[in-house]
Structure formats: structure tokens, C-alpha cells
Structure 1
Amino acid sequence: MKVILNNLQVKAVVSWLPENRLEMISLGKIYGDAEVVSVMKATGVERVRVADVDMCSSDMCQKAAEVLIEREGIDKNEIDGLVFVSQTTDWILPATSISLQDRLGLNQDTVCIDIHYGCSGYIYGMLQAATWISTGACKNVLVLSGDTTSRMMNPNDKSLRMVFGDCGTATLVSVGTSRMGFHIQSDGSGADRLIVPAGGFRTPISEKTSQLVWDEDKNGRTQNDLFMDGMAIFNFAITKVHKNVNSIIEEMQWAKEDVGFYAIHQANEFMVNYVRKKLKVAVDIAPTNCRDYGNTGPATIPLLLSDVCSQQQYDLKKTIMCGFGVGLSWGSVAVDLSETKFYEPINK
């Protein structure tokens, strides 16, 4: 799907991080120092944030949204849309976005929706917000994206524990004078490459699904835990993502050399740099920050923006954001962020 939507503006981006830091090197006492150093070298991830056991992704997103509303001086009654992007929702039902409408004190005329996506989810959230605004349905939409991926991982699975972190973010999309271009693609044949096999209605949690199984790389997990075929995801990303990005640049009729910033999903440092090289763009306009935060799922792109763009000046007039992962799904957004306010991550 390709579409260009008009009369839009991304007004502000805020990220909220849990205070708990997990230093990867500290896991040497569990997995062995040599193994930990090897994984750190491969991924570039040195530390992640881990939410408290009683904190949900909605709590982190709520905190980010409250900061955004306060600092931007927004009248809550002027917010008429809320999109919650997360794989770690509060309940199977009702939708967590409905709960957040009440918790944030928003007007009851606010339209709310959950989008159950991970690493590509921010792109979907922005599409939903942009669609509501460009059709005239809404004027100000909060896109809240985040995950507590730490809850889905088995502690015996070092391949995931040393990559994923937790974070919540808030982005305000409003009526404006700019346009946003989207290119989103899907391939459900790869659904089993990144999955929590049990826990839904197809395979309910049972004694059988709760049995711990060890793979050939000595990672232990149950069917109730997150599973990722890392090599398959890597091959998918380096094959598909750059083509998707180049396609939306062409659709927008931009010259590639005029794109001033690339916000690439922070899967890990190695993968981001590989995608960047496939795009043939310089490292200074496609930065990484997963060294300090790991892969925070649907929060990586707004976390990157609030982290690096609040500290350093970039040419954001023509910006590309791209996400890829679970589904399999991948997509890009071409957007003007030159007037966007970026706030340094809370608890950085």
C-alpha cells in the first residue's frame, strides 16, 4: 500500500524510560562472560531498561503523554484521537486505548484504537493518526507506542534477553500544512519467525505449552514465551527494507540526496548499519542509539527521535522513518519533522 496524505504536522515527541538499567555485562555470571561479550559485540547492545513488574506499557505511554501535554500546553479537550500501539496490552479486552482516554482525562468524544504490532507498529500508528486527520475526522491525535517486551522473554533465553528493552512514547500528530507519504507491506508467510506461540485462542496456555525446551544454542524457552528466528528476521530486513524506503522516496518525488535524516527501527546496531549501507546513506544522518536501550519494539523510532534530535541539529525537512518486524510487516513514512519539538527522554 502506498498513499500520500495531506494537511498534517507532527508537533511533538516524548519518550519515557523505566529507571531500572540492566547492564549486559552483568549477565556474565549467568551465561558466561565470553558468551555475553560475544553477543554484545554482535548486537552493539550494552544495556537496556526494564520496567518494574507492576508497570505496563500503557503506564509508560501514559507518563510520556502527560509530559507532552504539559510541556506543549495542550488543552486536553482539543485531543480527539488516541492510538495505542503495543503487543503488551493491559488486557485481551477491553482495548487499552479506551482505558488511556480515561486515565489521561481526555474528552469522551475521543476516538480510540489499539494496534497490536511490534517493531513496525509506529508506522501503522502514524498512518492511523494521519488518516483520521487528513479526512477531517480529527484535529489532534496522540500516538502512544511502547512495549514491556521483558515480560514476554524467558530468562533462560539469552538471545532475546540481551537485545530487548522496555519503553513508552507519545507523539502528537495534528492538522498542519505538510504531507506524509506511506508505503506499508506485509508477508504473513513469515508469521512463525517472530511469535509467542501460546496464549491466544488458537493455542491456549496449558501444562504442555509451559514446558521448558532448550535449543541447539542453549537458549531455553516455553511456548508461552517470545521466540525469534534471528537469522530469518535479518535476511528479511536486509532484503526488503531498503526497497520499501527507496520506493516511498520516489513516490514523494524527492531526490534521495535531499533526505536529511533516516530514523531506522533500532533492532540492533549491526542490523541498522546493514540496512543503512543497503540504502547507501551516511552514518551521520542514520544514527543508532540501541547501544543504551536495545530494541524497544514499537518505541524505537520515537525514542531515537527524542534522544538524538533533542541533542543535535539535523535537517529534518525531508525525513524517512522505517520499521520492520513481526508479521512479517514493514513500512516507511516520508515526513517533514523540521517544526517538530523533540523532548529528551524522561529518566535518560
Structure 2
Amino acid sequence: MTGKICGTGSFAPSFTMDNHDIAKLVETSDEWIQERTGVVRRHIIREETTVSMAAEAGKRALDNAGMSAKEIDLILVSTISSNVVLPCAACEVQKELGAVHATCFDLSAACTGFVLAYNTAMAYLASGVYQNALIIGSESLSNLTNWEDRGTCILFGDGAGAAVVRACDQKAYIPVTHSDGARGAALSCTSRYDKSGLAGNVDPQEWMEDRYLMQMDGRAVFKFAVKSVPQAVEELLEKNQVEKEEIAWYILHQANRRIVESVAKRLGESIEKFPMNLQEYGNTSSASIPILLDEMNRKGLLKRGQKIVLAGFGAGLTWGASLLEW
């Protein structure tokens, strides 16, 4: 027993900021940003929230799967930027969708989050505990972005993606995941509720201090990604005795065009197997893989029987890859 994706959905706010808008905030240019990242624009929340985007993406995934919310018995939401602490985002999504039979909880693994949520759902389905899972990556990274830091504000955007996974009898693949907390300082963000251990003691005027916004050592993250992701993919294929020639698509976390291109080169694979949409959305953390997956699904690019690799990497540091058959 394993699981199979039978529906996808995504949502992005209608308001966008292109590189010219970013150039009004920091010293940069459209040419500079595109050359170094591949990002052209990013979607930014206005009235939307992490929960509302997650719920809409989930609804679209259910519609695509032809399923009712009442058929879902597990909801997982991967996010580092929820607008709610209690109840969890997944329970709020349950309420919005009317998924009254679902068990719900959140995961926090940043840009690797959707891959880990997928793996978690697959393990539950394989064990027979649940039959139908809704997995969602949803992020409002604009709330955590330092809009005065040129090194990070050019990268991030908001959005949500979702997939419905149904238990089925077909070949199960073993995922590969890793973490290295010793290198976690490369990408970090301190909780606004953490000040000398006194919860709620942060003056609201201090909430936008740099330490409460995302901090990133871009060079360290780049070096980590271009080395770790190919190694994880090679490990994944070896574990499952699958050849690269059998892989139709490598759907990577959409962090930076140069990272994706470097991974393709190190794997010796054609860049044509590595779809990208980061030019439209920027880095949406745990939402990036499911948003891309949904776009490819709705364009008819995903064909029955294709083998697909999902690979995430980011804060933690965490990274991993999973193999699925469409």
C-alpha cells in the first residue's frame, strides 16, 4: 500500500511586485536581479493570509481530484509563516473546507516542508491509518522579509500549493531526507515572541527589527544547495534502483535559477527536465513545489506513468528528495 497524487491546486495573491518595484526600495535593478536569481516578479498578500491561501489551494486540489472535503481524513499544512499560532493552520483549513473527518496538524521545515509533508502523508497511507490526505504548502513570506535588505527582499514571495494523495496498491518508493542543525545559522529568523524567555514581552515597535526578520547567508545557502541536492537525488535513485533516464521531471524547490541550473549540470541531466516558474513567484518556500506541480498538471505536462523527483532544500538546514509515479 502506498499513495498516489490524484489532484493538485494552487493560489497566489493578485497583487504583484516586479523588480522595478523592488528597485524603489533598495539599490538594485531588474537586470541585476534577473541575472543573479531569475526572479522577475513576486506575488504579495494584501487581504489574503497563509490560512486563506492554503484553504483556496486545498479547495482547488479537491475539485481537481473530484473529491469532497468530507472524504479527506488527514490534512497537513507546511508553513513557517502562519497567521495563526493556535489553532494550527491545518485546523483552520479544515474549518474552511468542511473536512469534518480529517485529523489536522502543521509541519515546519521551511523550503523542504512540502517534501516532508508528502513523505509523512505517504507513511500514514502506507500504514493504513488514513486513506485520503490533503497536503498543503502555504507561505506569507512578505511578513518575514526585511524590505531594506537587498540580499533577501529580491527573492521571496507569497502563495500556496496543495495536492490530494489517495491510498492505492502500487510500487512504493523510499524517500531520502537529511538535516544539519549545526549549519542552521545560514538561514534563520528569530520568533517575535522570544525575548529573554518572556513570551509577549516584545514591544510592538521592535517587531520589525532585523533579528525578527529572515536572515540569510546567500553564499552559504547556495554552496549547500548545489552540493546537497544532487547528492540526495543520486542517493534517492540508487536506493530505489531507478536510472536517470527513467525520470521525466525533476521538480525542485524554486529558490534561484542558478541553483536549479547547477543541480541539472551536476546530475548530468538536461535542463529541460527541470521546469521553473520562479520568474513569476520568486521563492515561496514550502509552497514552491506544489505551485509548480499544479501548473504542470493543469498544462497537461504530467503524463500517466511518468516518474517524477521532488527535491526540497532550505532552512534547518534540511534537504531531501522523493520519487513518485504520476
By the TM > 0.5 criterion, same fold?
A: yes
TM-score (norm 1): 0.86
Instruction: State the Cα deviation string for residues 262-298 of structure 1 (Å, max 9, x = none).
Output: 0011101111111111111101111211111111100
Tell me which residue corresponds to 1:215.
Answer: none
C-alpha contact 1:25 1:37 (8 A) present in aligned 2: no
- Per the TM alignment, residue 46 of structure 1 is displaced from its structure 2 partner at its CA by 0.6
- Within the candidate set 296, 306, 323, 2:284 is matched to 296
- Within the candidate set 178, 181, 199, 2:174 is matched to 181
Tell me which residue corresponds to 1:82.
Answer: 75
Instruction: Mark the runs of 5 or more structure 1 residues left unpaired by the alignment.
Output: 1-5, 213-220, 338-348
Instruction: State the Cα deviation string for residues 170-223 of structure 1 (Å, max 9, x = none).
Output: 1101112332321110000111111112424465664599398xxxxxxxx611
- Within the candidate set 7, 13, 25, 2:2 is matched to 7
Which letter maps to 1:72?
A
1:111-190 correspondence to structure 2 within 5 Å: 111-178=103-170, 179-190=172-183
Tell me which residue corresponds to 1:239.
Answer: 227
- Per the TM alignment, residue 91 of structure 1 is displaced from its structure 2 partner at its CA by 2.4
- Within the candidate set 67, 90, 93, 1:97 is matched to 90
Which letter maps to 1:261?
W
1:236-315 correspondence to structure 2 within 5 Å: 236-314=224-302
Figure out how many residues of one structure are paired with residues of the other and give that number.
Answer: 321
User: In the alignment, does 2:314 pair up with 1:325?
Assistant: yes
* Residues 1:335 and 1:31: Cα distance change in structure 2 (over 3 Å): same
C-alpha contact 1:169 1:302 (8 A) present in aligned 2: yes
Q: Distance in 1 between matches of 2:133 and 2:207?
A: 43
User: In the alignment, does 2:37 pair up with 1:48?
Assistant: no
Look up the SS of the partner of 2:174 in the other structure: strand
Which letter maps to 1:40?
Q
Tell me which residue corresponds to 2:54.
Answer: 61
- Per the TM alignment, residue 310 of structure 1 is displaced from its structure 2 partner at its CA by 2.6
Answer 1 or 2: which has greater helix percent.
Answer: 2
Q: Distance in 2 between matches of 1:209 and 1:42?
A: 34
Give the percent of matched residue pairs that are identical in Structure 1 and Structure 2. Answer: 25
C-alpha contact 2:246 2:307 (8 A) present in aligned 1: yes
Q: Distance in 2 between matches of 1:28 and 1:103?
A: 38
* Residues 1:198 and 1:111: Cα distance change in structure 2 (over 3 Å): closer
Look up the SS of the partner of 1:180 in the other structure: coil
Q: Distance in 1 between matches of 2:159 and 2:218?
A: 22
Tell me which residue corresponds to 1:227.
Answer: 215
Which letter maps to 2:192?
G
Look up the SS of the partner of 1:181 in the other structure: coil
User: In the alignment, does 2:33 pair up with 1:39?
Assistant: yes
TM-score (norm 2): 0.92
Look up the SS of the partner of 2:211 in the other structure: coil
- Per the TM alignment, residue 113 of structure 1 is displaced from its structure 2 partner at its CA by 1.2
- Per the TM alignment, residue 90 of structure 1 is displaced from its structure 2 partner at its CA by 2.7
C-alpha contact 1:21 1:47 (8 A) present in aligned 2: yes
Look up the SS of the partner of 2:206 in the other structure: coil
* Residues 1:26 and 1:95: Cα distance change in structure 2 (over 3 Å): closer
- Per the TM alignment, residue 28 of structure 1 is displaced from its structure 2 partner at its CA by 2.6
* Residues 1:276 and 1:113: Cα distance change in structure 2 (over 3 Å): same
Q: Distance in 2 between matches of 1:191 and 1:89?
A: 21
Q: Distance in 2 between matches of 1:100 and 1:116?
A: 16
Which letter maps to 1:210?
E
C-alpha contact 1:264 1:301 (8 A) present in aligned 2: yes
Look up the SS of the partner of 1:175 in the other structure: strand
1:330-345 correspondence to structure 2 within 5 Å: 330-337=319-326
* Residues 1:100 and 1:30: Cα distance change in structure 2 (over 3 Å): closer
Instruction: State the Cα deviation string for residues 307-337 of structure 1 (Å, max 9, x = none).
Output: 2343253566211110000100000001102
